Amino acid sequence: MSVNILVDGKAIGQKRPLFTDWHVELPPVDERNGGRLKLRDLIRYIVDKEVDAFKNRQEERKLARIMSRQDIAQGVERGKVDPGERDLEQSVDNEEAVAIALKAFEDGLYFVFVDEVQQTNLDSEVFLKTNSKVVFLRLTALVGG
C-alpha cells in the first residue's frame, strides 16, 4: 500500500515557509523488509521527487506558451507575467543532490520532523501513515559563530 505524505519546509526565524507544501506519494514499502523505512531512504525519495519536479519545470520553461487573460491577470497579481521560452541551462544530478541533503542533515544544517517527532538518526526507522507530515526545518547559523 502506498502512502501519501505532506512535505513542509520552514526556516528558524521566518514566518513564511521555504516552499509551498506539497504532497508526495511514497511507493509501497518492501514487506520483505518488515515494512520498515529508514530516514535516509525517506530523504532520498523526497529529494529525488523534488529534483525531478525541478527538471520538469525547467523543460516547461523552454517552451513559449500562449497565455490566457486569466494567466496574465494572475501574473500581474504576483508581479511577474512569464510566458516561458528560455533555457537557463541548469542541470541537477539526483545522486549529488541526495548526497548533499544527507550530508547537510549529518552536519546539523536542518532537522527533520515526522508527525511532530524529531528524527535524529539517518538509520532510524520512520513510521508513516497516510497524511503524515514531514517537516524540514532549516537552521540559521549565528554570525561569526
pLDDT interval class at 101 (50, 70, 90):
very high
* Every domain of the chain and the residues it spans: 3-56+93-138
Nearest CA-CA partner of 85 in 103, 104, 60? 60
- Residue 14's pLDDT band, with cuts at 50, 70 and 90, is confident
Q: Which residues of 118-133 are buried (b: 16+ CB within 10 A; e: fewer)?
A: ebeebeeebebeeebe
Rg of the chain (C-alpha set): 18
CA gap 141, 57 in Å, rounded: 31
> Cell 501513515 sits at which residue?
129
Q: Which of residues 2 and 43 earns the better pLDDT score?
A: 43
* Secondary structure E strands in 1-145: 3-11, 19-26, 37-38, 110-114, 117-119, 125-126, 133-138
Encoded amino acid at 79, one letter:
G
Q: pLDDT class for 135, splitting at 50, 70, 90? A: very high
Instruction: State the Cα–Cα distance between residues 90 and 97, nearest whole angstrom.
Output: 13
- Contact assessment for residue 138 and residue 12, using Cβ atoms and an 8 Å cutoff: yes
Cell (9 digits) for 70: 486569466
| 3-56+93-138 to CATH, choices 3.10.20, 3.30.200, 3.40.50, 3.90.870 | 3.10.20
| Distance between start and end Cα atoms, the chain | 46
Average pLDDT over residues 99-124: 96
Which one is predicted more confidently, 40 or 27?
A: 40
- Work out whether strand 3-11 and strand 133-138 pair parallel, antiparallel, or are unpaired: parallel
Whether pTM exceeds 0.85: no
pLDDT over 90 percentage in the chain: 40
Confidence of residue 53 (pLDDT cuts 50, 70, 90): confident
